[in-house]
């Protein structure tokens, strides 16, 4: 529902927006990453990856079913969870959409992730994720990455 309470968090989306469970379409996923200034993913990678989402949400606004934001959790569903692909199209940023999506992901984790699970993420935005308890891992551990085309 437009402006509806998000998973009982008490937060409301602005009028004209609706949070939905599940991932957006492949085309919307690719478009949203670009619209949020994130690195492109190939259509093949997105087609393979989206069905393996542990839990996802997206926000629609404007035209019916026009996705303006998305976020998902990937992992093994038991001990390892990664917040991934958090994106809000630039014209829709700053309206609480990212916060509503993150509230939904955290609510899902509280209800479904076993005790002792590990939740990680790579943050492109400073100061956003800390409100949900995330903290930098260094110096206790160091995040590392490599792109598959470099292997």
Contact yes or no for 68/98 (Cβ under 8 A): no
Does the predicted TM-score (pTM) go above 0.85? Answer: yes
The predicted model gives 112-140 an average pLDDT of 92
Per-residue pLDDT at 63: 66
Task: Name the CA dihedral angle for 58, 98, 12, 115, rounded to a multiple of 10 degrees.
Answer: 80
Per residue in 62-109, pLDDT (tens digit) is 766 799 999 999 999 999 999 999 999 999 999 999 999 999 999 999
Distance CA 32, CA 111 (A): 28
Q: Which of 128, 86, 80, 124 is nearest to 105 (CA)?
A: 86
Q: Which of 72, 88, 78, 76 is nearest to 121 (CA)?
A: 72
Distance CA 116, CA 14 (A): 35
Model confidence at 143, in pLDDT bands (50, 70, 90)?
Answer: confident
Per residue in 14-47, pLDDT (tens digit) is 899 999 999 999 999 999 999 999 999 999 999 9
Residue-range domains of the chain with CATH: 17-120 (3.40.630.30)
């Amino acid at each position: 529902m437009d402006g509806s309470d998000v998973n009982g968090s008490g937060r409301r989306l602005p009028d004209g927006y609706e949070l939905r469970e599940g991932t957006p379409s492949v085309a919307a996923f690719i478009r949203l990453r670009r619209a949020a200034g994130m690195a492109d993913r190939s259509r093949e990678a997105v087609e393979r990856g989206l069905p393996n989402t542990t839990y996802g949400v997206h926000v629609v606004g404007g035209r019916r079913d026009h996705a303006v934001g998305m976020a998902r959790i990937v992992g093994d569903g038991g001990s390892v969870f990664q917040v991934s692909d958090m994106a809000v199209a630039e014209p829709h940023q700053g309206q609480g959409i990212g916060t509503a999506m993150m509230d939904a992901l955290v609510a899902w984790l509280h209800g479904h992730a076993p005790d002792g699970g590990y939740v990680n993420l790579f943050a492109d935005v400073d100061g956003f994720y800390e409100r949900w308890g995330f903290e930098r891992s260094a110096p206790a551990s160091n995040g590392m990455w490599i792109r598959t085309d470099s292997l």
